[in-house]
Structure 1
Amino acid sequence: MNHLDDFDIQILKQLEADGRMAYSAIATELGVSNTMVHQRITRLMDQGILTGIKPVLDEKKLGYDWGAFTGISLEKDHDSKRIIEELHKIPEVTECYYITGNYTLYLKIIAKDHEHMRQLLYEKIDSIAGIAKTETIIELGCAFRRNIVL
């Protein structure tokens, strides 16, 4: 397990509030040197705790009004690597998880409208060899999404 001290946690909180925040501003806020902030962020990235600083896109404002969650059953679970590689080629599949239960994989899919969603499900996803069955639930909006509280 990676040990986070108070400075690491404060740096992560600053970045979560504003991922564009300059290291110098974080240093000033925390009363430490720019070098220390840079070293800590580099270490957090090297440890895989901080996996990147990326923009959070509002899919609806980009024209993707439909979202869905799809459970996928495979004909053979050992085909999962190949099937995941095929799913990864579909840009509208934004998340893919291994899960337990009735499905092997669980996807988050976004689409511009119902016709686009139909094409994704029936023409792209269902046509991947090795997929036995899919079950899709349309999402009606995200109540909230957040990182784990530090």
Structure 2
Amino acid sequence: MDTLNRLDDFDVRILKILERDGRIAFSAIATELEVSNTMVHQRVTRLLDQGLLLGVRPVLNEKALGYDWGAFTGITLEKDGDSQRVIEELKKIPEVTECYFITGNYTLYIKLVAKNHEHMRQVLYEKIDTIPGIAKTDSIIELGCAFKRNIIL
């Protein structure tokens, strides 16, 4: 079944409110939508159980936390069969914030953050490039995020 077919008007309205403020109380959502707290709780629980809502968590401002440098790095593996093991090693590196399977010249594409250029060099050369199975990395330094959002319902 198509994901959007599983969402009714109340689900979409709840998701839009949570997108606006993930910390909002269910009672405030219920008041805004003129429904019961129980209905909001049940709907959010169902959206979580169905995997349509992956959670509600804070979005950290990396720059405000001192991570002024960011990079997107393509990773070429010696063998594509090593991908799961390499991913597990990448998960151990706190500066790696995202990891994607992609098509094209690379097997994996990661987003990483660092406090300065020396920290970036250390992450790339001393943490990532030393993972067994990685043949090559190719990084592009990011200069700032123009925007980032969820899909618009």
Q: Give, in angstroms, the shift of residue 23 of structure 1.
A: 0.3
1:85 equivalent in alignment to 2:88 = yes
Pick aligned residue for 1:69 from 59, 62, 72: 72
Pick aligned residue for 1:121 from 111, 119, 124: 124
Counterparts of 1:120-139 in structure 2, within 5 Å, are 120-139=123-142
Q: What's the counterpart of residue 108 of structure 2?
A: 105
Counterpart-to-counterpart distance in 1, 2:125 and 2:54:
33
Counterpart-to-counterpart distance in 2, 1:139 and 1:20:
29
5+ residue gaps in structure 2? none
Structure 1 consecutive aligned stretches of length 4 or more whose deviation exceeds 2 Å: none
Counterpart-to-counterpart distance in 2, 1:129 and 1:11:
45
Task: Normalising by structure 2, report the TM-score.
Answer: 0.97
What is the RMSD of the two structures over their aligned residues, measured on CA atoms? 0.5
Secondary structure in 2 matching 1:79: helix
Counterpart-to-counterpart distance in 2, 1:131 and 1:15:
39
Counterpart-to-counterpart distance in 2, 1:35 and 1:57:
30
Pick aligned residue for 2:42 from 20, 39, 44: 39
Report the number of matched residues.
150
Q: Identity across aligned pairs (percent)?
A: 77
